[in-house]
Amino acid sequence: MSLNTVRHDYKITKKDREKLNQHRSLLLWFTGLSGSGKSTLANLVEMELHKKGVSTFVLDGDNVRQGINKDLSFAPEDRTENIRRIAEIGHLMVEAGVVTLAAFVSPYIEDRENIKNIVGVDNFIEIYINTSLKECERRDVKGLYKKARAGEIKNMTGISAPYEAPTNPDIEIVTDNQDVETSVQTILDFIIQKIK
């Protein structure tokens, strides 16, 4: 924190914004391997929440890396900074009264714990999209696993870089043997109760 800044307290609060929106705001954090279905599920959950009149916004790993985080690599220290920045943005979105869906590999437990510290544990829902490496490689939507196996991509989570699975997520979706509709409904059933 800069020594030359002073925090300003404004009169309109998060509670005021939530009251206006008629729902609580939360950060829904989708974590899992590349190709697990994080972005797909975040998109579908947002669509359903939108139908219900919930104010939402999706922060997606690929999209964010084309903008605010385009200066970061996939080295461990840059991955940590990527997640820290997203957590700060997520915190601002939650303060704005928006249900924010963040779809990021976010491979390190310590980084995900830090998100909770930034946004507050009561504002954070960890959603583990648990898909086997075999299934992610079968899907290989972006062709990343093929490139990683060929040595063209370094620091590929699940291949040449670790993924530390959540030990106690709020929601765990195993996509290998569950259809998309059921996965979406499982997430919605949990979230709707939290934002009422």
**Backbone φ and ψ of 79, nearest 5°:** -60, -40
What is the pLDDT at residue 141?
Answer: 84
How does pLDDT run across 170-196, given as a tens digit for each residue? 999 999 989 999 999 999 999 999 998
Q: What dotted CATH number matches 22-131+163-195?
A: 3.40.50.300
User: Per the annotation, does 25 bind a ligand?
Assistant: no
Which residue among the candidates 25, 55, 106, 183 is catalytic per the annotation? Answer: 106
What is the pLDDT at residue 180?
Answer: 96
User: Per the annotation, does 61 bind a ligand?
Assistant: no
68 CB neighbour count, 10 Å cutoff: 14
What is the pLDDT at residue 90?
Answer: 97
User: Per the annotation, does 32 bind a ligand?
Assistant: yes
How does pLDDT run across 59-108, given as a tens digit for each residue? 998 888 999 999 998 888 999 999 999 999 999 999 999 999 999 999 99
Q: Running DSSP on this structure, what letter comes out for residue 62? A: H
**73 tagged catalytic:** no
What is the pLDDT at residue 2?
Answer: 67
pTM (global) more than 0.85 = yes
**Phi/psi-derived region of residue 155, left when phi > 0, alpha when psi is between -120 and 50, beta in every other case:** left
How does pLDDT run across 162-171, given as a tens digit for each residue? 999 999 999 9
**Phi/psi-derived region of residue 179, left when phi > 0, alpha when psi is between -120 and 50, beta in every other case:** beta
Least confident range from 4-18, 40-54, 107-121: namely 4-18
What is the pLDDT at residue 1?
Answer: 54
